[in-house]
Amino acid sequence: MLGEYLYLEQSKNKGRAVFTNRALEPDTIVEIAPVIVMSKEERVHLDKTLLHDYIFEWGANKDECCMALGLIPMYNHSFESNCEYYMDMEEALMMVKTVRSISAGEELTINYNGEWNDAKKLWFEAE
């Protein structure tokens, strides 16, 4: 499921990004997408490629990873994100839901730490 109001466009200083062409209320599910789950051994190889920046940790011990399909890899990071994502490991799905009202034309963002309000440094900030 992908909201028909979502679209990709260039974002200032962030590359491609997900935007909405209509106003959204809090707690609106904007996307549900399947994921491709990969093993710890496969992740070692992925971490050496550009895909490293688009995969998510997966599994109870976060020792696997997944590639989300749909637009999920295109949501940019923000510590003040307006969406959050959820992982359904049994169904191998990810879901993106709004955490506040979002205006038409606004970029949709997620916090790469997993929790929308988690302010700890990210892997690319520590480098």
DSSP state letters, the chain: -B-TTEEEEEETTTEEEEEESS-B-TT-EEEEEEEEEE-HHHHHHHTTSGGGGGEEEESTTS-EEEEE-TTGGGPEE-TT-SEEEEEETTTTEEEEEESS-B-TTPEEEE-TTSSTT--SPPHHHH-
pTM, rounded to two decimals: 0.86
Domain boundaries, the chain: 6-113
Q: Is the pLDDT of residue 123 over 50?
A: no
CATH 3.30.420.40 describes domain 6-113? no
pLDDT, one tens digit per residue, over 78-111 is 888 999 999 999 999 999 999 999 999 999 999 8
Q: Is the pLDDT of residue 70 over 50?
A: yes
